[in-house]
Copies of this chain bind each other. A is one copy, B any other.
């Protein structure tokens, strides 16, 4: 019953999966066409805890309210979440919770899921939530893997699954190089649509995993790997349902009969798009996106660097090349540990001990990879006709070889299923899912990310690397660092891979993450994005001026969402009726559960 109705993207041939089952299934879950896992090989797993209702409302009242909504949307588009969360791996419901949960799986779950088909229906749902003071949590496609998936921040929220029925590409403008999308359009679907129309002159930009929503990823300020990789910077125009039910169009969209909504982002007056990113101030129902012109040729390249400490000088070389657009896309410097994990083998193939996998084991395992006995791999792409690429690549080569031992890998030497080719596709705007293979590293593999922002500098790279490594070792966790160089800054991306059925290892992962966030903040580094359960902590690090920015965000929240119904707690922003009642999540408090004595939200003062 969760099957997609309208998505038309074909399922690409899945790359060979070396071992394990989880990445195969996650790959399927990531794919635009597949809304559920088909078939089942494992018995249904019973719900461990009772289905939840939103705090502050009685079950009977809640069910009656849902009936009212069913009358508006149609009965089949309002579903109580009382079924098993997973019927084995093969029948997981991907929009009711976080498939990669770092908490107890039944913690951050929806009480119900609703499926609007139009902006007007989203408005109806919002008005309904205001009437009954029910928290609602919109998802585009719920594939925000590593950052919370489809889970709502507040247990028992009603999830609005926007993408299931609102999944149309509303426009592709082949002259302006733009498109207009609904929330359910994945990178795969957009890519396929361009191919289908024969629009070879336009590229999309895709993040590491292509199965997610273009709109959702962009609102979360995700990035991709072409020169159009800053998705937020490349969007143009939003349609937003406000928490009080009104709908606005931003930029030129506010001008009736305009033909520039997707070509000029700013419009007239305050440019408000930004406050709808990483926020709970509105529900975005349409988004314009610009498309990259085909650069007339492209060529991936890969370098490896021998020693861990080469990272520092390498960053000093990368910075001016990247700012000067000689390195034209997000530059990736990946540690050997991640390079090995992404090959898809389980950790147990290389090491059976406890504690972090020793360096010498990693190096032994890497012999079969193109990284060989080196430590860092750089993946890049040059764009344009051959002589233009040659000009840039010669500069890169001369600069990179200033690191003693630097080695250029010949792509012709690499087999078809080598990870290099996945990076090649992604940097050419071709969606891919190879990246997920590293969840095979553990049984029941899942991942969660730590993503601090720093300058592109030797000292900063080494400080973050050393801090992360030390804390991973302290908690007995394998350390998978990769540095992604945006333009003037880089994100260290550390993915912790964990067994989602191992409570003890999950706790270690959480403790490690919380320590890394705190220690990074003490050094002056903050996360650009984080998992739902870490949002309060990360928001708390942005505390300049006695928390002035959060107070400002709260003022906006109270003005736009006076009843506090939209995604309470997202990005650490709590509506007035939740504040000061113990809803923030910390290492000590943990999540909000029944019987934990957290005060239900207050009924707002209707004036």
Contact = CB atoms under 8 A, between A and B. Distances in A.
A513 to B, nearest CB: 15
A526 B251 CA distance: 10
Interface string A546-584: 001101110110111000000000011100000000000
Nearest to A486: B264
Interface stretch (A129-137, A277-285, A364-372, A419-427): A277-285
A6 interface: no
A281 B275 contact: no
B249 A528 contact: no
A282 to B, nearest CB: 9
A398 to B, nearest CB: 15
Contact of A269 (B178, B320, B548, B571): B571
A312 interface: no
B255 A542 contact: yes
A307 interface: no
A128 B523 CA distance: 38
A538 interface: yes
Interface residues of A, number: 90
Nearest to A267: B542
B275 A489 contact: no
Given A246-B548, A256-B543, A489-B263, A268 B388 contact: no
A48 to B, nearest CB: 33
Contacts of A60: none
B271 A232 contact: yes
A255 B556 contact: no
A2 interface: no
B274 A242 contact: no
B175 A319 contact: yes
A279 B256 CA distance: 21
Interface stretch (A341-349, A452-460, A466-474, A495-503): A452-460
Nearest to A557: B270
A213 to B, nearest CB: 19
A59 to B, nearest CB: 34
Interface in A315-355: 319-320, 323-325
A176 B455 contact: yes
A524 B255 contact: yes
A143 interface: no
Interface in A271-295: 271-279, 281, 290, 293
Interface string A238-274: 0000100011111011111111101110111111111
A272 B275 contact: yes
Contacts of A549: 248-250, 254, 267, 269, 272
A334 B525 CA distance: 48
A249 B545 contact: yes
Contact of A271 (B256, B277, B460, B539): B277
B528 A266 contact: yes
A588 B489 CA distance: 52
A584 to B, nearest CB: 14
A182 interface: no
A526 B258 contact: yes
Contacts of A528: 264, 266-268
A545 B268 contact: no
Contacts of A541: 255
A412 interface: no
B175 A553 contact: no
Contacts of A596: none
Contact of A387 (B175, B278, B391): B391
Contacts of A573: 269-270
Given A264-B528, A454-B260, A528-B266, A249 B176 contact: no
A486 B252 CA distance: 15
A475 interface: no
A539 B455 CA distance: 40
A256 B256 CA distance: 44
B270 A553 contact: yes
A75 to B, nearest CB: 30
A527 interface: yes
A173 to B, nearest CB: 9
B293 A324 contact: yes
A221 interface: yes
Contacts of A559: 555-556, 558-559
Contacts of A538: 268
A17 interface: no
Nearest to A524: B257
B281 A270 contact: yes
Nearest to A282: B552
Contacts of A248: 545, 548-549, 552
A551 B573 CA distance: 23
22 contacts: A175-B457, A247-B548, A252-B526, A254-B542, A254-B544, A254-B549, A255-B521, A255-B525, A255-B543, A260-B454, A260-B525, A264-B486, A267-B542, A269-B279, A269-B549, A269-B553, A270-B277, A270-B281, A270-B553, A270-B556, A387-B391, A556-B559
What are the nearest 8 A-B pairs in CB distance? Answer: A559-B559, A271-B274, A270-B279, A254-B542, A263-B488, A269-B571, A264-B489, A254-B549
Interface of A: 175-178, 221, 232-233, 236, 242, 246-250, 252-260, 262-264, 266-279, 281, 290, 293, 319-320, 323-325, 385, 387-388, 391, 453-457, 460, 486, 488-489, 521, 523-530, 538-539, 541-545, 548-549, 551-553, 555-556, 558-560, 571-573
